[in-house]
Chains A and B, each alone.
Chain A
Amino acid sequence: MAVKDRIPPIERDPQKRAKDFFEVSLGYDEERAVLEAQRCLQCSIPTCVKGCPVGIDIPGFIKQIAQKNFEEAYKILKDYNSLPAVCGRVCPQEIQCEGACILNKAGKPISIGNLERFAADWASKNNVEDEIQIDKNQNKKIAVIGSGPSGLTTSAELAKKGYTVDLFEVFHTPGGVLVYGIPEFRLPKDIVKKEVSFLEKLGVNIILNIPVGFAIHPQEILENYDAVFIGVGAGTPKFMNIDGTELNGVYSANEFLTRINLMKAYKFPQTDTPIKFAKKVVVIGGGNTAMDAARSALRLGAEVTIVYRRSENEMPARKEEIHHAKEEGVKFLTLTQPVRYIGRNGKLIAIECVKMKLGEPDESGRRKPIPIEGSNFIIETELAIEAIGTQSNKFLLSQFKGLELNKWGYIKADEFGRTSIPKVFAGGDIVTGAATVILAMGAGKKAAYAIDQFLK
C-alpha cells in the first residue's frame, strides 16, 4: 500500500495573521482529521507511544478518530494527558511521538499532534463532559509549588488518586509558561484556562499569588504536608551582560513576553500594562522563546531581525516555528553575536555585533561559534530582546534545607523526581533546565507515581 502524504492543518494567511494575536493554525476539520487518522498503520508494537513522554495510547485514539468516534478518542487521550489541547499545540512532536512514527521510514509521519488537538478541540466545542474518576480518599495532603506544566500534571494525577492537593502559584493566573511565555497566537489562553479548570473539577485547590519562600517558609510546608512537589521552572532570565544592558529598549524575552501574554500589553491602553513600540526590533537567540518574542514584536508592527551566533542548522527552535516566523516576515541574521549596546540619553539606538564562524563541537555537541576579528558592524535598532536562556530561581531552593542542587543550580532528582529530601519531589525545568512543556508534564506524571508509592 502506498503511503499517502500527510494532511496539512488549516493555517491562516501569513500576511493577515502577522497583524494580530489570534491563533495561526486552525488545526483540522472533521474530514481532514479522519483522512489523516486513516493513514495510521495501527502498529501492533507502536513506536510512537515510546516517543511520548506521557505514553498516550496513540494508535488507540487515532483509531477512534478514523472511525469518527471523536468523543471516544478524546476520552482515551484524557486518560493519559490532562492537557491534550495544550500538548497537541505546543509539543515538539517531530522529536517525540511523530519522530518515532514508523512512517518516517517511508514518507511523512502521522500528524499526531494535530490529531490530538483536533480531538481535544472537538470535545470542547461539543461540550463533552470530563469523567471525573477519583480512586479513593487517601486522607493525605500534598503541596505542589508552581502551576506550570509539571505542577499541573502532578496535581491532576494525584487528585485522581484521591489525594488532597494544594497547588501554590505566585502569579495571578495559573499555567506558568503556558500563560506568560507562549503567545496567544500559538496557544490561546482560553484553552489553557479551560484545561486548568479540569483540575478544579478534580478537586485540586489552586492558591494564587503565593510567593513560597517569602510568604510561606518551605519548612512550614514540609511540616504541614505529607509530600511536596517543586515545579517552579527555570524562570530567571539570563542577560549577556554586555555594555549597555541597562539601557531603555533592552528587554529580556521573559519581560517582553510576560507583558504581552500575561498582561496583554498589546491591548494598551485598554489594558494598563505598557510595552515599548519600535519600528525596528532585534531579537537575540535561536530558541522557541526567540521565535515567540520575534513573532510577537512583528505583531506590534515592527520590522524584526533575529540575531543568532550559530547557523540556522544549530537553532534549538522547532523547525515549524522557524518556518512560521519566516513566512510572517521575520529576518534571520545568523553567525552574528552582539558585543555592545549603544545608547543615547539612556535609550538604545544601535547594537554593535561581530560576525562568527563555527569551530569544533563543544560539550553540548554543537559547533562552537568563534568571533571573526575585525568583522564588527552596527545594527540600528531601538529595541532589543534577549532570548538567550534562563536559570533557576535560587532564592526558593536555598531555603529548602538539605536540598541538593547540581552544578548549574538545578535540583538533583532521579527519573521519578526523588530529591535528596525524602518527602520532596521535583520535576520539569527546575530539574532539567529549560526544556519542553511535555517533558515537564512527563516528569510531573512520573513524580505523581513516585509520590503515590512513597505514601503507600
Chain B
Amino acid sequence: MKKLKTSNLIVEKKKLAYGIHMFWIENELVANNAKAGQFVIFRIHENGERIPLTIAGVKDGTFRVIVKAVGKSTYELCRFEKGDKIIDIVGPLGQPSEIKNYGNVLVIGGGVGIATIIPIVKELKNHRNRVDVILAARNKDYFVLEEEFKEVDNLYFVTNDGSRGMKGYAHEMMEKLLKKKKYDISWAIGPSLMMKACSEVAKKYDLKIWVSLNAIMVDGTGMCGGCRVRISDELKYTCVDGPEFDGRLVDWESFNTRLIQYKEEEKLALEKYLEKVGEPTWL
C-alpha cells in the first residue's frame, strides 16, 4: 500500500473565539477517508486520556478539528501550537451522515457545533439540496467560520443575549421556520440541551432530525460500551452505531445524566492542571 503521511503534525492553528481553537493536522489516513459526520479519537500525550473530536473538514492530506476548552485535556490541547504533534490519532470513526438529495433541509449548529456542521452542509449542497442553516451561539463573538456558510440558501443567526440575529435559543428559531416552511429532514448539532430541545420541536412537527451525540468514549471502536445510549428502547453504541441518531428516539434524560458521570473527577483534573500552569491566558 502507498505510504501515507500520518505525522499528526499541527500544520495550522487559529484561535476562533475565547476557548475555541481550530487545528489543521497532517494525517492522510484520516483526511483521505473521512466522510461528513465522522470523528477521530485523540490522545495528546503519554498520560493522556482518549477524547473524541468531530472531523470538521479535510484539505490536502490534513484534517480539521475545532476544540472547545471545557476541561483538562481540551485546555491542554488548546495550548498546542503549529509544529507540535498529537501522539495518537485514530480515525475516521463512526458512521457517516446519511447524505442524499432530500429537497428542503434545515441544519442547526449550536456553539462549537457550528464548525462541525460544515462538512454536512457542504455534502448536502453537493447533493443539490436546498439548505437553510440556523447558527446559534451565546453571543455574536462565537459565530466561528461564518464565511464557510456562503453557499447555503438561507442563513439565520440566534444569540442568547440578542447581540446578533434573533434573541433566544436555536429551537425557538427552528419552530419559527417550521411554522411557515416544510422541510424534508433536519440536523441539529451542538450542546445536548440544544439538541434535545430541537428534537422536541422536530417531534411536534413530525420532522426527522439527526443529532450527533457527544457521548463519553474510551476506545471509540465498539469495545467498551461506555458510550451506550438508549434509542427507542434499544441499547446502541454511539461510537459504532452513531454518532448520529434520530433525535426524536433518543432517551435524552439518561444520555444527559451519563454525560456528567465524571463531573467531580473532571473538576479535580482541571483544578490540578490550573494549579500547575497558572492562568490559562492562551484560551
Chain A residues close to B by CB (< 8 Å): 166, 170-172, 180, 208-211, 214-216, 220-221, 224, 235-237, 239, 241, 245-249, 251-252, 254-255, 258-259, 263-264, 267-274, 276, 345-347, 393, 395
Pairs A–B under 8 Å by Cβ, sample size 24: A172-B43, A180-B223, A209-B6, A209-B90, A211-B93, A211-B221, A215-B29, A220-B1, A221-B1, A239-B228, A246-B228, A246-B251, A246-B254, A249-B261, A255-B226, A267-B47, A268-B265, A268-B269, A269-B268, A274-B49, A346-B253, A346-B257, A393-B221, A393-B222
Set B30, B218, B262: member contacting A263, Cβ < 8 A: B218
Per the bound structure, the CA–CA distance linking A273 and B225 in Å amounts to 16
Task: Please indicate the chain A residues that have their CB under 8 angstroms from the CB of B48 in the complex.
Answer: 271-272
Given A224-B1, A245-B235, also A170-B218 (CB < 8 A): no
- Write out, one digit per residue, whether chain B residues 75-94 have a CB within 8 A of any chain A CB (1) or not (0): 00000000000011111111
Per the bound structure, the CA–CA distance linking A221 and B2 in Å amounts to 11
Per the bound structure, the CA–CA distance linking A269 and B29 in Å amounts to 32
**B229 at the A/B interface (Cβ < 8 Å)?**
yes
A172 touches B90 (CB 8 A): yes
Question: Nearest chain B CB to A85's CB is how many angstroms away?
Answer: 23
Question: Nearest chain A CB to B63's CB is how many angstroms away?
Answer: 12
Per the bound structure, the CA–CA distance linking A54 and B43 in Å amounts to 36
A345 touches B257 (CB 8 A): yes
B73 touches A255 (CB 8 A): no
Residue of A nearest to B41 (CB): A209
- Most chain A CB neighbours (cut-off 10 Å) among B6, B38, B89, B90: B90
Per the bound structure, the CA–CA distance linking A246 and B223 in Å amounts to 16
Task: Please indicate the chain B residues that have their CB under 8 angstroms from the CB of A236 in the complex.
Answer: 222-223, 225
Residue of A nearest to B92 (CB): A214
Task: Please indicate the chain A residues that have their CB under 8 angstroms from the CB of B29 in the complex.
Answer: 210, 215-216
Per the bound structure, the CA–CA distance linking A269 and B270 in Å amounts to 10
Task: Please indicate the chain A residues that have their CB under 8 angstroms from the CB of B226 in the complex.
Answer: 251-252, 255
Question: Other than the known A216-B33, A235-B221, A245-B228, what 13 A-B pairs have Cβ atoms closer than 8 Å?
Answer: A170-B219, A211-B91, A211-B92, A214-B91, A236-B223, A246-B230, A246-B258, A249-B261, A255-B224, A272-B48, A274-B269, A276-B261, A395-B240
**B50 at the A/B interface (Cβ < 8 Å)?**
yes
B235 touches A246 (CB 8 A): yes
- Write out, one digit per residue, whether chain B residues 220-254 have a CB within 8 A of any chain A CB (1) or not (0): 01111110111000010000100000000001011
**B172 at the A/B interface (Cβ < 8 Å)?**
no
Per the bound structure, the CA–CA distance linking A32 and B226 in Å amounts to 45
Given A214-B93, A235-B223, A346-B257, also A274-B262 (CB < 8 A): yes
Task: Please indicate the chain B residues that have their CB under 8 angstroms from the CB of A224 in the complex.
Answer: 1
Per the bound structure, the CA–CA distance linking A235 and B239 in Å amounts to 14
The total of chain B residues at the interface (CB under 8 A) is 46
Residue of B nearest to A346 (CB): B257
Set B90, B224, B235: member contacting A211, Cβ < 8 A: B90
Set B73, B89, B235: member contacting A241, Cβ < 8 A: B235
Per the bound structure, the CA–CA distance linking A442 and B230 in Å amounts to 39
**B5 at the A/B interface (Cβ < 8 Å)?**
no
**B127 at the A/B interface (Cβ < 8 Å)?**
no
Question: Nearest chain B CB to A276's CB is how many angstroms away?
Answer: 7
Task: Please indicate the chain A residues that have their CB under 8 angstroms from the CB of B49 in the complex.
Answer: 263, 271-274
A239 touches B235 (CB 8 A): yes
Per the bound structure, the CA–CA distance linking A215 and B89 in Å amounts to 12
Given A210-B29, A215-B29, A272-B47, also A258-B89 (CB < 8 A): no
Task: Please indicate the chain B residues that have their CB under 8 angstroms from the CB of A276 in the complex.
Answer: 261-262
Set A249, A254, A270, A347: member contacting B225, Cβ < 8 A: A254
Per the bound structure, the CA–CA distance linking A254 and B223 in Å amounts to 7
Per the bound structure, the CA–CA distance linking A335 and B225 in Å amounts to 26
A346 touches B224 (CB 8 A): no
Given A246-B228, A271-B47, also A259-B218 (CB < 8 A): yes
Given A215-B91, A224-B1, also A246-B269 (CB < 8 A): no
B266 touches A346 (CB 8 A): no
Per the bound structure, the CA–CA distance linking A53 and B200 in Å amounts to 57
Per the bound structure, the CA–CA distance linking A239 and B49 in Å amounts to 24
Question: Nearest chain A CB to B95's CB is how many angstroms away?
Answer: 9
Question: Nearest chain B CB to A268's CB is how many angstroms away?
Answer: 7
A208 touches B73 (CB 8 A): no
**B182 at the A/B interface (Cβ < 8 Å)?**
no
Given A235-B223, A252-B224, A252-B225, also A209-B89 (CB < 8 A): yes
Given A255-B224, A269-B269, also A248-B257 (CB < 8 A): yes
